[in-house]
Amino acid sequence: MITSGILTLFGLVALVLAFAIVSSRRGSATALVSLCWVPLVALILGFAARQGLGYAFFGLLIAIVVLSVVLGLMGAVLTIRAHRTGSGPIRALALGTVVAATPFVLVLGAWVILSMRGH
């Protein structure tokens, strides 16, 4: 069985490679906006297939949260840099950052709600 660490490592490598390929052609802002939806789609697909995944679903959730945080931090840095230099699509970067950070917020909210209910 694949552990969450290996799954996260593979996800980070795939994200870095995809970001490098897209940013070499179109720039880092476009690369972030192009990849910001990946953690959210992975979360949706993970919840759709959670019965078949069993306990591997928790490893997938950890990998999704880590990738979401990484993309959210990259988006925040790129948005601040675009705002300071006055160049770049600030609105698109900000929206991409929000979309990238959404899975982290959803999983954190679910964890807080479940811990308050005593589960």
The number of distinct structural domains making up the chain is 1
- Say how many CA atoms lie within 13 Å of 100 toward its Cβ: 24
Radius of gyration of the chain (CA): 16
Query: Nearest-CA neighbor of 31 among 21, 40, 44, 41?
Result: 21
Tell me which residue range forms the domain holding 28.
4-117
Q: What is the pLDDT of residue 119?
A: 66
According to the model, what pLDDT value does residue 68 have?
A: 94
Identity of residue 97: T
How confident is the model at residue 12, as a pLDDT?
85
Taking the C-alpha atoms of residue 35 and residue 71, their distance in angstroms, rounded to an integer, is 8
Q: Give the pLDDT score at 20.
A: 92
* C-alpha separations of 25 from 55, 87, 114 in Å: 39, 18, 44
pLDDT below 50 — which residues of the chain? Answer: none
User: pTM (2 decimals)?
Assistant: 0.84
